[in-house]
Structure 1
Amino acid sequence: MADIDRLASDGLANFASPAIDTVKFCQLLAKIAHSFAVAEIGLGNFQPLLADFAVRSFPLREQYTDCYHLVGGDPKSYAPSEALHTLGWGVWQNGLEAYLIVCIRLFASLGAPSYVLVAGKLTCEAHHEAVRARAEALARRPDKTPA
């Protein structure tokens, strides 16, 4: 018997998912992305774009829609992963600018969506360092496959 059928048989006529504060959720993702970027390539190798947003205190019910310029999602659906959570990063080039992008999939094992965040802006030197750090990080992984 499906969970929803069981709830109905127990006398529950209807239910609703709990509300979520999307700004707070984006702040959580920003903290994870910023920390991951610092751990992977080092704070000195990029100009952080998420740090101020991640720690800013918002009044209850204030919606800060500017955060969606740096925090987004992948519209594709992915099958559940063997990993509980997945993290990865890459570089996105926009003209002469290079940006450090972090991909987060919380509860990947349950088929949850992926989120994409712009963690920071890379300088030319930092871009080369980021590529080198990425190669070194991949070399340290036991399976040697990109995240």
Structure 2
Amino acid sequence: MSKTPKQIFESYVYAGSMTRNADALAECFTEDAVFEAPLMPADGSFPRRLAGREEIRNAMAAYYEQQAKDDRSPNFEKSGYVLHTTSSPDVFIAEIDTVFDGDGEDTVVSLVQIFRIRDGKIARLRDYFAPELMN
């Protein structure tokens, strides 16, 4: 039985945003996957383009290590998402509002991710968010 978009998305979020586990995150992707953040500048702290599961694993491990110094974590109870299916069974879109608790005022980061799936794994992910939020 193949995974639903919801199962794929939730596994991806758990491995990445919730646990920052680069090994588990990489296993969400196909061997030849491409992970892109097209709005990120080439010299940004978040990788702009990663090709292949091992590059995803290594780059995200380095990013999570750097991010560990940042005490800012998402508030998952306040955050939310909506998944949109498309005419292609291999493509879905995630519309996400991630809330970070702040001193007196929350910060909401809104983003859109486009997932292309193959055999229950992410073959291509395009992550669209405001780059200044990652620095």
TM-score, with length taken from structure 2: 0.30
Q: TM-score normalised to the size of structure 1?
A: 0.29
Name which one, 1 or 2, has greater alpha-carbon Rg. Answer: 1
Structure with greater strand share of residues: 2
Of Structure 1 and Structure 2, which has the larger fraction of its residues in helix? 1
